């Protein structure tokens, strides 16, 4: 079972100043349209080669366009023993701040 977080819950946590580890797994051209400030960009296909970035004691919120790819990345990282949450609805539902 993959933990989830809604875009609204995430926006509230960020507005409250919580320190969160966000990973955006979209492609370069999607990220060029805007990312949540503070998110780390690691394309979905590059996740297996970047496992060294992740720490098993840290929870990561995984983000994509609509929530499908991020769910798949969550399932993969969960299988590897990492703590992850899928941002349901993805950037299509994101109403908070973005940066380019």
Catalytic machinery residues: 64
Handedness of CA 18, 23, 28, 30 (dihedral sign): negative
H helical segments located in the chain:
7-15, 28-31, 68-79
Q: What size, in residues, is the chain?
A: 100
């Amino acid at each position: 079972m993959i933990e989830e977080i809604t875009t609204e819950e995430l926006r509230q946590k960020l507005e409250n100043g919580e320190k969160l580890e966000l990973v955006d797994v979209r492609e370069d051209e999607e990220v060029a349209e805007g990312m949540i400030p503070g998110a780390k960009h690691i394309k979905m296909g590059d996740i297996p080669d970047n496992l060294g970035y992740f720490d098993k004691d840290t929870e990561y919120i995984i983000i994509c366009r609509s929530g499908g790819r991020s769910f798949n990345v969550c399932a993969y990282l969960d299988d590897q023993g990492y703590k992850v949450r899928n941002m349901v609805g993805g950037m299509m539902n994101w109403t908070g701040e973005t940066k380019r």
